[in-house]
Amino acid sequence: MNDAFVLGGLGMVGKATMKALDIPFYFDLKDSNIDLEEGAQKLFCFICLPTPTDEKGGQAKALDTIRDYIKQIKGYGGRNIFIIRSTVLPGTCRALAEATGAMVVSNPEFLSESSWEHDCLNPRLKVIGADDVPSRVAVTNLWKSVKAKLDIETDTVTAETIKYAMNSFAVVKVVFANALYDACQLSQADYDTVREVLHQHPWGSKHHLKAVDKGGRGAGGRCLPKDMKAFATWSNSEFLKATERINFDYLVASKKI
C-alpha cells in the first residue's frame, strides 16, 4: 500500500499497522523515511502517536500534537484521510475534524503487546468508525486483505467507545477477580474451582480472572491503567472511578507501577 504513511510508525501500533497493510512510509520522532510534505500527497495518514493520560485524567497535550500534525499536513495542500489508531476519548475524531476541516476516521487497535506481530495479521476484531460514507468505504477497502473474526463498521464515537469498553472491561474483570479471590479466602472456598466455572460457563469469561498475575495484583501494562483512568474521568461514572482507584491501589501495593 503505497498511498499511505504512518505517523508514529516506529512505535508498537505504528509497526503493527505498517506490517498489516504493507505500508513502507513512516514519520516518527526517532527516524523517518518520508517528510510531512511528501506525506501530504498520500491519500491515507495513519496516526499511531502516544496518548498518555495526564494528571487530570485527560489527553489534552497528546490531542494538541495530533491536531497540529493534521493542520500542518493539510497546510501542504493534502486531501488525506486521517485514520486515528491511537486510543482517544469518545468525540475526539469529530473534534479533530471540526478543528481542522479534515476527514478523520477512528480505527482503534486491539493487539496485545506480547503477541503484536501475530495479532496485527490475525486480528480478532477490526473496527472502522467513520462519519461520512466516502471515508468509511475507502478505509474499509484498505483493510479488506486483513480478515478478522469480528468486523464492525460504525460511526467515530462508537468506534472510540468500543476501544474503551474493551480496555475498561478487562480492568473491571481483574478487580472483580481480586474481590472474589479475597471472598474465597474468607470462606475458604477453592478460588481455582470457582474461576474454572467462570471460564467454562457462557455467563463467565475466559480472560482476566487471575487474581494474581505477572507478579502481583492489578491490571497493569502500558495501556490498561492509563485508558481506565481516562475513561473513568471522562465518563464521570462512580463505578468506573472506583474500579480505577482500586486497580491503582493494587498496582501500587504489588509494586507494578
Residues of this chain that bind ligand NAD (CB under 6 A) = 8, 10-14, 28-30, 48-51, 65, 85-87, 109, 111, 113, 222-223
- Return the sign of the alpha-carbon dihedral for residues 101, 162, 210, 232: positive
Report the residue number, 12 or 157, with the smaller CB distance to ligand NAD. Answer: 12
CB of 230 to ligand NAD, least distance (A): 9
Report the residue number, 2 or 112, with the smaller CB distance to ligand NAD. Answer: 112
Report the residue number, 5 or 250, with the smaller CB distance to ligand NAD. Answer: 5
85: helix, coil or strand? coil
CB of 195 to ligand NAD, least distance (A): 25
Q: How far is CA 171 from the centre of its chain?
A: 14
Cα distance between residue 254 and residue 221, in whole Å: 13
256: helix, coil or strand? coil
Residue 153: what are its φ and ψ, rounded to 5°?
Answer: -115, 125
Report the residue number, 127 or 194, with the smaller CB distance to ligand NAD. Answer: 127
- The answer to whether 230 and 89 have CB atoms below 8 angstroms apart is yes
Report the residue number, 43 or 166, with the smaller CB distance to ligand NAD. Answer: 166
Residue 192: what are its φ and ψ, rounded to 5°?
Answer: -65, -35
Report the residue number, 48 or 138, with the smaller CB distance to ligand NAD. Answer: 48
Q: Which residues, at least 6 apart from 121, have a Cβ–Cβ distance to it below 8 Å? A: 19, 20, 146
CB of 8 to ligand NAD, least distance (A): 3
CB of 98 to ligand NAD, least distance (A): 21
> Which three three-digit cell numbers place residue 133?
460514507
How far is residue 135 from each of residues 138, 147, 161, 235, 245, measured CA to CA in Å? Answer: 5, 20, 19, 28, 39
CB of 185 to ligand NAD, least distance (A): 32
- The answer to whether 54 and 78 have CB atoms below 8 angstroms apart is no
CB of 19 to ligand NAD, least distance (A): 12
